[in-house]
A and B are shown apart, each in its own frame.
Chain A
């Protein structure tokens, strides 16, 4: 595939770039297959902006025939270009940055715009940049990922008594969105699993995702059971769940849908675990928004944040109307409920909604952060994300194809992962010492999940990644973040491990807008970031000394 066919104009001189927090600059614009490169050879040395085209969510172009081109520089002696046309391309990035390019020449401008439009949303995964990115200090032989389900299982000795590693899904035939190896109760054989999988949407039968060492209780996750309108049942599925509680008096099912929603789901073949067939399981319903509603919430929020008009009277109302913070609240409180079932109440729990690939993962991830100190280190958190999102089959490609600014018709986009990062940030803010990683990590993940040099967030599940050779042909972000030189930046210098559960406050006045992300480019509040950085450096310096 030749990218060049999409690039009619590769270089344009005399382009003016305007970007947030910096003065406009004039230089050369260059479009390559994956990048937009702007270099400014000003007097104070050259400045470059390298932007992944994949990071571009939307562009707006306006072409005009102008007499005086670019009044901004007229004082600087550049205003002599009198005739000719020019155009402006406004670039809205998925990391919420907005750039503006003033490009001389109508045709060049349209060419550039066209190239960006086409190249920023290539559908073919194997043409994406991670397949071309070859950093010098990294070898493709370094392996991929932090740990496999097999390794996770072999490390958790206490787990092995009652749980086994099943390779029933070794060729992805039982559940295409599950990894080849899953953890299930010892008492349940692979045939049972296969049958149970047929009874669950997308084949996502209940599997273990967390073992609570303190009391041996577990969190399971799955998709909805396919009971349908005539209340079908599946003995194997019931058996599987019975084996999970194994002698204990009960377990909890946290359904991320309302009880009304689950009744409706029966009409389309879905459903819920009825009391009469799963009599040891108690269902709790917590309605969580997903899909389109969540995406629209993000769009509203980003719109409000980007509103530069001086009339800020209605800011708080706009913030409230976007409902983003109430999604954060619901996610944290549902995760709190799940953690309470396991940690305080001492029972195992199963989480699911419809597909079990979005809210269920959100909730189980947050619950693990709340309960398990091992998940709160930098390594632990990244491993948690790998288990609960990458291996568990969150469809990143569908969910993160576009962000809040895109004009494209929404398909499967939904910022579930961004919501997770926001919730983690709230935890981090409420427990500034308990998490071993920094806000910078969350910001990095928020950017890379939409556009990355690394292959980590490509595709929708393990199966697709294998088919495309992602693990052989791209580099892994999670490993890159843990490299000795890089890692320091993502550590929380004030980290003080605690064995205790960290129960977040979910009262609205305890939750804050994640300014570091949503207002990153809109205001000069960057000094906060710089100050954090300063504190970090000082502490790291001192800690080094102390450890000596």
Chain B
């Protein structure tokens, strides 16, 4: 076991009931809570948790520099409630009621979380009982607003694998077959001078010079020039990502940018380059007013397609509406039309179908350019999903980590702004669940192709939990330059260290590798489902299964098979040495099955 804190590895965020030893209950309350290395107790207190499902529950709360932990004091285990919430998941802490408020449990704290739930605690209305807890919560949930370090910088966790090495851009390009005759690797951005939100290593057309890149950068929003994300091994078609061109109201042109896009087209000799603008047409036009815009007719040999995906504000409001209908109580009477009115699934559909168009274009041999406004939200969704459809490597457990590291983290999806790690400013207009939406799209794909992904739902849930938790450095900061400046790789642990030290629990037993297979999910509303086990997982009335029973059963059968194979092998080995009659009778039986099933039985065939 590589992890020093195995008990928390898989379940730290699950509110499931872990019954503590009785003695511990009587003694110091919550003394038995296992903390992470580097995690310190800040305060604890008797408190009432106003559970939206079971009503008021008396218990004790423990605040550390990492988590809020609550356990009910009722000795009856059947009604026991445990909460274990990383402070990073908290977006807002408010005082509820005043010292003179009337009514039972009207004085306390209201906590809004980023992960689809809210918590409410009540305290006794005497002697400023909540002051201490409120101030500590406020302080440690929003460390950056209090000049405190994020917990990722405090934790002392150690893992056998250092997750930071999972993604190496040069190696990943080499895997794709780059550099080649048409594409070169450029280090011109090594000190983030070309573009401060891009990674240092970029793949660009061979025929473009460093000066070209600089001139193109001047015409692209925030210098996010078109660079290669992925290349199709057979037909050499590429996925290129960038930000919008700075066309503006006056309709400016930039010859270098036009020529640069034509270089991309030329690289695999297709007559037309397709530019996917993720935005709705009207939004793209509106962006001209602020200096942005889209590629017009001056881009010869290029066609522009709008994908109608809404912006971060629309997505934020959509998920908020979804939260309203699922937490705390699920809107039952008109469930489907309520769900429809959130438009969440419709947005998921548009993102998925946009990615399908990109993948399909590339598959048919045409290079594509994908952008939105800044090229760090919708663009990241589209390129990464298209790559997931096209390249089976990204559907492995490690490959998926590479995909996230590459298209999201290194290309500057603004995790810090979108999630607001450690920031008290909950109403910030920059917040948006773009990454959650991406993971939702991945989940939809895994539902449609149950054998195509090496990882399981548990991995997706773990990723989303630690998107907020601030326990790992993986999702901190907006871009590589900021990560470098804050020495994330030196001073924090990578989420992939946790994952890769316990890979077995994230593996999909149904996985059957099929390299080269392109997945086209059905992006029709009829085939999309609400991800109930994520969005409604706090509701105890939803049947919660720690692990899919089908998955578990299948694992058992696999184990059983291995066991029998082993026995069989032993039997045959002993038979071959003694050549008893028994051996002769058992041998013919095994032959047909070992010939009818390929690779798994190769080791069985040897003794025969």
Contacts and interface: CB of A to CB of B under 8 A. Distances in A.
Interface of A: 305, 312-317, 319-320, 325, 430-433, 494, 496, 505, 507-510, 512-513, 515, 519, 522-525, 527-528, 531, 534-535, 539, 541-546, 548
Nearest to B596: A541
B560 A325 contact: no
A136 B529 CA distance: 45
Contacts of B180: none
25 contacts: A305-B526, A312-B349, A312-B524, A314-B340, A316-B336, A317-B336, A319-B336, A505-B541, A505-B542, A508-B336, A515-B526, A519-B527, A524-B522, A527-B448, A534-B512, A535-B450, A542-B557, A542-B558, A542-B560, A543-B557, A545-B590, A546-B560, A548-B568, A548-B590, A548-B593
A512 B529 contact: yes
B337 A316 contact: yes
Contact of B336 (A320, A496, A525): A320
A545 B524 contact: no
A305 B525 CA distance: 11
B565 A494 contact: no
B527 A508 contact: no
B542 A528 contact: no
Interface stretch (B189-197, B222-230, B357-365, B547-555): B547-555
B597 interface: yes
Contacts of A535: 450-451, 510, 554
B561 A433 contact: no
Interface stretch (B327-335, B420-428, B469-477): B327-335
A531 B554 contact: no
B530 interface: yes
B250 interface: no
B557 A539 contact: yes
B339 interface: yes
A523 B526 CA distance: 9
Interface of B: 326, 330, 332, 334-337, 339-340, 345-346, 349, 448-451, 510, 512, 520, 522, 524-527, 529-530, 532, 536, 541-543, 549-550, 553-554, 557-558, 560-561, 564-565, 568, 589-590, 593, 596-597
Q: Report, nearest first, the 4 A-B pairs whose CB atoms are least far apart.
A: A508-B335, A316-B340, A320-B336, A315-B525
A545 B593 CA distance: 7
A133 B264 CA distance: 65
A528 B330 CA distance: 29
A509 B530 contact: yes
Contacts of A431: 549
Contacts of B512: 534
A269 to B, nearest CB: 36
Contacts of B543: 430, 505, 510
Given A430-B543, A528-B450, A320 B526 contact: no
B549 A433 contact: yes
B336 A523 contact: no
Nearest to A310: B524
B549 A320 contact: no
A510 B565 contact: no
B156 to A, nearest CB: 41
B124 to A, nearest CB: 36
A325 B525 contact: no
Nearest to A430: B543
Contacts of A545: 561, 564-565, 590, 593
A494 B530 contact: no
Contacts of A539: 554, 557
Contact of B339 (A316, A519, A541, A543): A316
B550 A542 contact: no
A234 to B, nearest CB: 41
Contact of A507 (B449, B541, B589): B541
Nearest to A494: B553
A519 B526 CA distance: 8
A497 B55 CA distance: 36
Contacts of B339: 316
A396 B520 CA distance: 41
A515 B524 CA distance: 12
Contact of B550 (A325, A494, A509): A494
Contacts of A312: 349, 524-526
A525 to B, nearest CB: 5
A531 B451 contact: yes
A312 B522 CA distance: 13
A312 B526 CA distance: 8
Contacts of A430: 543
A317 B340 contact: yes
Contacts of B346: 313
B52 to A, nearest CB: 15
A513 B528 CA distance: 11
A541 B345 CA distance: 39
A543 B560 CA distance: 9
A535 B536 CA distance: 29
Contacts of B561: 542, 545-546
Given A312-B524, A505-B543, A545-B565, 17 more contacts: A313-B340, A313-B346, A315-B340, A315-B526, A316-B336, A316-B337, A317-B340, A496-B553, A505-B542, A508-B335, A510-B532, A523-B524, A525-B448, A528-B450, A531-B450, A535-B451, A546-B557
Nearest to A541: B597
- Which one of B336, B525, B564 has the greatest number of beta carbons of chain A within 10 Å? B336
Contact of A548 (B345, B522, B529, B589): B589
A431 B450 CA distance: 18
Contacts of B530: 509
A110 B558 CA distance: 58
A374 B589 CA distance: 32
Nearest to B345: A316
A35 B11 CA distance: 59
A534 B526 contact: no
B501 to A, nearest CB: 29
Contacts of B451: 531, 534-535
Contacts of B558: 542
Given A325-B336, A509-B335, A525 B596 contact: no
Contacts of B557: 494, 539, 542-543, 546
A542 B337 CA distance: 45
B334 to A, nearest CB: 7
Contacts of A317: 336-337, 340
Contacts of A315: 340, 525-526
A320 B340 CA distance: 10
A433 B449 contact: no
Given A494-B550, A541-B593, A548 B332 contact: no
Nearest to A495: B553
Contact of B554 (A494, A509, A515): A494
Nearest to A522: B526
B449 A531 contact: yes
A264 B522 CA distance: 49
Contacts of A510: 532, 542-543
A312 B561 CA distance: 46
B550 A523 contact: no
A320 B593 contact: no
A548 B451 CA distance: 27
B346 to A, nearest CB: 7
Contacts of B526: 305, 312, 315, 513, 515, 519, 522-523
B342 to A, nearest CB: 10
Nearest to A528: B448
B525 A316 contact: yes
A512 B568 CA distance: 43
Nearest to A322: B336
A432 B554 CA distance: 11
Contacts of A505: 541-543
Contact of B522 (A305, A509, A525, A544): A525
A154 B543 CA distance: 39
Contacts of B349: 312
B586 to A, nearest CB: 8
B347 to A, nearest CB: 12
A510 B541 CA distance: 10
